[in-house]
Chains A and B, each alone.
Chain A
Amino acid sequence: MIGKMILPFVIRDATISETLERESHVLMMDEEEFRAFYDRTARPLWAYLSRITGDRNEADDVLQEAFYRFYRAGARHESESHRRNSLFQIATNIVRDSARRAKHHEDVPLEEESWAGETPRSQAPVPERQASIRTDLERGMKQLDPLHREMLWLAYAQGSSHEEIAETLGVRTVSVRTTLLRARRKLAGILSEGRTNRSQEAAR
């Protein structure tokens, strides 16, 4: 008798297969679709992440996490660019959360980390002048605010429109123009300084 009374109260055990089946009803990408999207976006996303975090290992981790969350979200997108923006938005949020946690735990600040002296995993021959510019850029990006770094990369390296930048970074479209200009001016100043220093060193 008691068993019969208890039964209605018992929450039915959710088995793993049931959970997976439930999730498959969300509009997730199939393997072929996912792999094609990954092949198109993973490298640009890694480039973006490595620059905004300043840490290649973190870029690796965030890349995987971003793709997983994107896949799990299972959202349908109007267009390829909308889908790409959504992925970049997820990745940006992961980086921001991670930075917030690092700040909370008083981790090593971004400025102290560096992969300037690190050997690139895949070493393509880079001319000396280009390497210097990359070093200046790396130094300059680290001196900028995170939002400025993200915005500069999306605007000039990624070629995103102001609307796309606003959507990805969660800011108002009208503020993108002025913020971008300020960031550009600051980075240009740092790059010019690096160039001047190199010229002076060469002259000595």
Chain B
Amino acid sequence: MRNELCQREDELLNALGRGFLGSELEDHIVACAPCAELHMVAGALLDDRAHSIAEAPIPTSGGMWWRMRLRQRHDAEGKARRSLLVGQAATLSVAIALMIFFFGADLMVAAREVVSTVRVSTPLLLAILTTVLLAPIAGWVAIRGK
């Protein structure tokens, strides 16, 4: 690949940006291959930019500011909700851990007594235990949903 550049490329770019080349530079472009290439490419891009800028369907700055504030508030709500959820989960975990720590042994004894007294079948006992465990979680989910 040829790698040569012309020393007048910056001058040409400035002239293209101004929108006026001048006869001397135009003559140079005809004779200089890198400048002719640059003229073609940069000229097309600058022209395209001018048209795109004119037809850009952008919202007004006021509208954009309002949307951003709205979205920021929405994001803040999401963040707050996530923190709340983490807090609730942590509280629940700590509460269960403390219950087991302080009353675990008593609860186990009581449970054994109940089982031996009632003498229920294993499937029924499993159903009762599941209900007892899931009911508070279901209640918590229902409250959170509201």
Alpha-carbon distance between A18 and B76 when the two chains are bound, in angstroms: 9
Q: Chain B residues near A9 (CB, 8 Å)?
A: 90-91, 94
Q: Is the beta-carbon distance between A6 and B72 smaller than 8 angstroms?
A: no
Alpha-carbon distance between A44 and B54 when the two chains are bound, in angstroms: 10
B100 within 8 A of A: no
Q: Chain A residues near B56 (CB, 8 Å)?
A: 42-43, 46-47, 50
20 CB-based A-B contacts, threshold 8 Å = A10-B87, A13-B87, A18-B80, A34-B65, A38-B64, A38-B65, A42-B58, A44-B49, A50-B56, A51-B48, A51-B52, A68-B71, A122-B55, A130-B51, A134-B51, A156-B42, A157-B49, A159-B13, A184-B38, A185-B1
Q: Shortest CB–CB separation between residue A45 and chain B, in angstroms?
A: 9
Q: Chain A residues near B91 (CB, 8 Å)?
A: 6, 9-11
Q: Chain A residues near B45 (CB, 8 Å)?
A: 137, 152-153, 156-157
What is the total number of residues of chain B having a CB less than 8 Å from a CB of chain A? 49
A-B contacts besides A15-B80, A46-B56, 15 pairs, CB < 8 Å: A6-B98, A13-B80, A19-B80, A35-B61, A42-B58, A44-B49, A46-B52, A51-B48, A64-B67, A122-B55, A123-B55, A134-B44, A152-B45, A157-B48, A181-B5
What is the total number of residues of chain A having a CB less than 8 Å from a CB of chain B? 63
Q: Is the beta-carbon distance between B40 and A188 smaller than 8 angstroms?
A: yes
Interface on chain B toward A: helix, strand, loop, or mixed SS?
Answer: helix
Hey, which bits of chain A sit against chain B, CB under 8 A? Answer: 2, 5-6, 9-16, 18-20, 23, 31, 34-36, 38-39, 42-44, 46-47, 50-51, 56, 60, 63-64, 67-68, 71-72, 120-124, 126, 130, 133-134, 136-138, 152-153, 156-159, 178, 181-182, 184-185, 187-188, 191-192
Q: Is the beta-carbon distance between B55 and A19 smaller than 8 angstroms?
A: no
Q: Chain A residues near B84 (CB, 8 Å)?
A: 13-14
Hey, which bits of chain B sit against chain A, CB under 8 A? Answer: 1, 3, 5, 13, 17, 37-38, 40-42, 44-49, 51-59, 61-62, 64-65, 67-68, 71-73, 76-77, 79-80, 83-84, 86-87, 90-91, 94-95, 98-99, 102
Q: What residue in chain A is nearest B90 (Cβ atoms)?
A: A11
Q: Is the beta-carbon distance between A159 and B17 smaller than 8 angstroms?
A: yes
Q: Chain A residues near B94 (CB, 8 Å)?
A: 6, 9-10
Tell whether A188 pairs with B41 under 8 Å between CB atoms, given A6-B95, A46-B56: yes
